[in-house]
Chains A and B, each alone.
Chain A
């Protein structure tokens, strides 16, 4: 099976602009989660989508939003970009199985490196 793909891989924007990142999960996976990784804060959970619905959300401002399509592909959007939004944005997919820990391993994509100038 093909892995998780993310586009674009690199992006440069200026403050105040908005950006949309795309994630295609592993075939058959219905859950897509997004994470932000920065040198200062490390890897932080943004949100999770399952069957086109946001199921979990991390502690990020409303400028960060996402959506999921019927084919499980997901996009995340960041509006009014700030310098601090420069980061590696990682997407992870999993089958989305119900159950306790260990039932639903996440597999990560290569990430999109966003630089805000």
Chain B
């Protein structure tokens, strides 16, 4: 099984709808990164969560980290076509580890219909 499970694998929503993507780890999380990728292109950094209970927001995207559950969620409010893409979570696996060696989930493909 994957160390990092993302759900759902794909999501199709109507513009304006809210949505949530989850990332669950089978191992201890020492940091969790969220990236967005347009198909076949590089990853765009969204945000990083480090402490349990931490919540960060950027524009209409909010991410939370539940350390006990070893899970993170990414919530998009009032989705827009510009939010479409693949969302990837990346985990830091050691307490002294950095972001330079991340373990990634398989990604969630988001489609936003106008």
Contact = CB atoms under 8 A, between A and B. Distances in A.
Given A101-B30, A103-B98, A106-B99, A43 B48 contact: no
| B interface secondary structure, majority | loop
Interface stretch (B11-19, B73-81, B100-108): B100-108
Contacts of A100: 30-31, 50, 95-98
Interface string B80-114: 00000000101010011111111111110000000
A21 B59 CA distance: 35
Interface stretch (A60-68, A76-84, A88-96): A88-96
Contacts of A98: 98
Interface residues of B, number: 28
B101 A45 contact: yes
B105 A99 contact: no
Given A45-B101, A106-B100, A106-B102, A101 B92 contact: yes
Contacts of A94: 98-100
Given A45-B102, A100-B95, A108-B42, 4 more contacts: A43-B104, A90-B42, A98-B98, A100-B96
A110 B41 contact: yes
Contact of B100 (A4, A56, A102): A56
Interface in B38-78: 40-45, 48, 50
7 contacts: A4-B42, A43-B104, A56-B100, A56-B101, A97-B98, A101-B50, A106-B102
Interface of B: 30-31, 33, 35, 40-45, 48, 50, 88, 90, 92, 95-107
Interface residues of A, number: 34
A111 to B, nearest CB: 5
Contacts of B107: 42-43
Contact of B99 (A101, A109, A111): A101
Contacts of A33: 100-101
A86 to B, nearest CB: 13
Nearest to A6: B42
A109 B30 contact: no
